[in-house]
Amino acid sequence: MTDPVVIIGTGLAGYNLAREFRKLDGETPLLLISADDGRSYSKPMLSTGFAKSKDADGLSMAEPGAMADQLKAEIRTHTRISGIDPGHKRLWIGEEQVRYRDLILAWGAETVRVPIEGDAGDAVFPINDLEDYARFRAAAAGKRRVLILGAGLIGCEFANDMSLGGFEVELVAPCEQVMPTLLHPAAAAAVQAGLEGLGVRFHLGPVLNRLERAGEGLEAHLSDGSVIACDLVVSAVGLRPRTDLAAAAGLRINRGVVVDRELRTSHANIFALGDCAEVDGLNLLYVMPLMTSARALAQTLAGNPTAVSYGPMPVTVKTPVCPLVVSPPPLGMEGTWSVEGQGGDLKVLCHDAQGQLLGYALTGTAVMEKLALNRQLPPLLA
Ligand SMILES: Cc1cc2nc3c(=O)[nH]c(=O)nc-3n(C[C@H](O)[C@H](O)[C@H](O)COP(=O)(O)OP(=O)(O)OC[C@H]3O[C@@H](n4cnc5c(N)ncnc54)[C@H](O)[C@@H]3O)c2cc1C
């Protein structure tokens, strides 16, 4: 029997690739292996669950059995691969070996964990998949006060969502503004003001040093000496592409698993896409790049080698209190920023010396201009 195409991961990258592949090839055996429960869900919805009153079951779109039928695939859940042997085209699940025709790494990124002293480490919740979300929802039942660590896109989205869900939210991050790697300071100030209007209290500058139990709740001790009373802590301090197993197998890694424009790693029969992949130098942890990659890679796996190209990839940030769309300038391109508008309605543009639009951040009513601006942006990977 032919060895299967094996996909590691049943997140958006793994399932979208399987779906695209099955549009082109209904016969080749397909095996998906997932460390989690294999339910199909849209990860971006994790940060709108409270506002929409959706628990983890409510966010699940399909059970793995239904996905297996739909994809004509075998799906192994709660199964963590432990090694790859590229020379013999096989992988390891503990002692068990599984042979593959082609192997696709769609194993995502893991949450960065910061060391926190104190006796309440178990009250810190990263939320990076449906199972994390279920754990957090269970712990949050009947609780009122949430402390969020991190002022990046995900921390801000959770701050908005949990405020709308009725929580009192405090946010701590060691930076001067929200979304520092993504946003011009003017746009960041607009988002922060919007969230403050919802009641979110920001502590920008210090870090959380120690978390202690105090009666029914918790005391969070910050590095600036202040103490915040809360019931739960959500950690949103960053994501790191998973690369350990790839490195151990001798594949090239950098920030992510290094792949070329055909999504091929440094080994001919192993590919990567999604959060774990660094495509021609770009490691983009968003949905649009992985969907584009899935379509290109499905062609390659079906025998029609296809290079991926990325157009502009604007990101809609789910802070409805201050709508935000952002498209940072492509890597290595520098320009001059201008700010138009006032209050929460800003058009922040970045142009190069020739007047070419390189990137933007739009807040409030200015988000309506995104389609017109997208047409002027350069592609991220031409
Ligand atoms: C709260 C939140 C909100 C977001 N909002 C947006 C948004 O609005 N817009 C946007 O574009 N992006 C958003 N993102 C990012 C986007 O969701 C991700 O880029 C995308 O879902 C990543 O998909 P993935 O399949 O690459 O990884 P994942 O979904 O992380 O899937 C990885 C899979 O690999 C499996 N796995 C890992 N290791 C192993 C192993 N050793 N063996 C077997 N299986 C393994 C896991 O179990 C899982 O099934 C958001 C992310 C978060 C956390």
The pLDDT score that the predictor gives to residue 382 is 87
Cβ atoms of 84 and 271 within 8 Å: the answer is: no
The pLDDT score that the predictor gives to residue 333 is 87
The helix or strand, by DSSP H or E, that contains position 344, with its residue range, turns out to be none
Q: Please state, in angstroms and rounded to a whole number, the distance separating the CA atoms of residues 224 and 251.
A: 43
The pLDDT score that the predictor gives to residue 151 is 98
Pick from 45, 287, 293 the residue to mutate for probing ligand 1's pocket: most ligand atoms within 8 Å of its CB: 287
The SS3 assignment for 59 reads: helix
Please tell me whether residues 104 and 15 are part of one structural domain: yes
Total-model pTM? 0.97
Cβ atoms of 133 and 18 within 8 Å: the answer is: no
Measured by CA distance, the residue closest to atom 22 of ligand 1 is: 275
> Which of 44, 5, 9, 8 lies closest to 25, judged by CA?
5
Point out the ligand 1 atom lying closest to the alpha carbon of residue 109: 30
Point out the ligand 1 atom lying closest to the alpha carbon of residue 239: 53
Choose the final residue of a domain: 235, 268, 292. 235
**From the CA of 336, how far away is ligand 1's center (Å)?**
33
Please tell me whether residues 40 and 58 are part of one structural domain: yes
Question: Taking CA 218 as the corner, what is the angle to CA 214 and CA 222, rounded to the nearest 5 degrees?
Answer: 115
pLDDT band at 71 (very low <50, low <70, confident <90, very high): very high
User: Exposure of 103 by Cβ count < 10 A (0-12 exposed, 13-18 middle, 19+ buried)?
Assistant: buried
pLDDT band at 285 (very low <50, low <70, confident <90, very high): very high
pLDDT, average across residues 340-367 = 97
Please tell me whether residues 78 and 47 are part of one structural domain: yes
pLDDT tens digits for 215-243? 999 999 999 999 999 999 999 999 999 99
Please tell me whether residues 66 and 32 are part of one structural domain: yes
Measured by CA distance, the residue closest to atom 19 of ligand 1 is: 286
Pick from 47, 107, 245 the residue to mutate for probing ligand 1's pocket: most ligand atoms within 8 Å of its CB: 107
The pLDDT of residue 332 is above 90: no
The pLDDT of residue 1 is above 80: no
pLDDT, average across residues 344-373 = 97
Please tell me whether residues 10 and 90 are part of one structural domain: yes
Residue 181 lies in a domain: yes
Please tell me whether residues 275 and 340 are part of one structural domain: no
Phi then psi for 22, rounded to 5 degrees? Answer: -70, -20
The pLDDT score that the predictor gives to residue 311 is 94
**From the CA of 106, how far away is ligand 1's center (Å)?**
9
The domain tally of the chain equals 3
Point out the ligand 1 atom lying closest to the alpha carbon of residue 290: 26
> Which of 319, 309, 312 lies closest to 359, judged by CA?
312
**From the CA of 320, how far away is ligand 1's center (Å)?**
22
Choose the final residue of a domain: 235, 264, 280. 235
The pLDDT score that the predictor gives to residue 299 is 98
The pLDDT of residue 67 is above 80: yes
**From the CA of 298, how far away is ligand 1's center (Å)?**
19
Q: Domain range holding 12?
A: 5-109+240-301
**From the CA of 31, how far away is ligand 1's center (Å)?**
19
Please tell me whether residues 91 and 144 are part of one structural domain: no
Point out the ligand 1 atom lying closest to the alpha carbon of residue 12: 25
**From the CA of 128, how far away is ligand 1's center (Å)?**
7
Least confident of 23-32, 97-106, 214-223, 328-337: 328-337
**From the CA of 197, how far away is ligand 1's center (Å)?**
30
Residue 307 lies in a domain: no
- Separation of CA 63 from chain center: 22
**Cβ-proximal residues to 94 (8 Å cutoff; 6+ apart), any chain:** 82
Q: Alpha helices of the chain — where are they, by DSSP H?
A: 12-24, 56-59, 64-71, 130-140, 153-164, 185-198, 244-248, 287-301, 370-374
Taking each continuous run of H as one helix and of E as one strand, the counts in the chain are: 9, 27
Q: Please state, in angstroms and rounded to a whole number, the distance separating the CA atoms of residues 371 and 64.
A: 36
Pocket lining for ligand 1, CB < 6 angstroms = 8-14, 33-36, 43-44, 46-47, 80-81, 106-108, 128-129, 154, 157, 242, 274-275, 285-288, 290, 315, 318
Question: Taking CA 81 as the corner, what is the angle to CA 76 and CA 86, rounded to the nearest 5 degrees?
Answer: 115
pLDDT tens digits for 172-220? 999 999 999 999 999 999 999 999 999 999 999 999 999 999 999 999 9
Please tell me whether residues 368 and 280 are part of one structural domain: no
Residue 310 lies in a domain: no
Q: Please state, in angstroms and rounded to a whole number, the distance separating the CA atoms of residues 108 and 10.
A: 9
Choose the final residue of a domain: 198, 213, 235. 235
Output the domain CATH number for residue 359.
3.30.390.120
Phi then psi for 203, rounded to 5 degrees? Answer: -125, 85
Please tell me whether residues 55 and 158 are part of one structural domain: no
pLDDT, average across residues 92-102 = 98
Residue 247 lies in a domain: yes
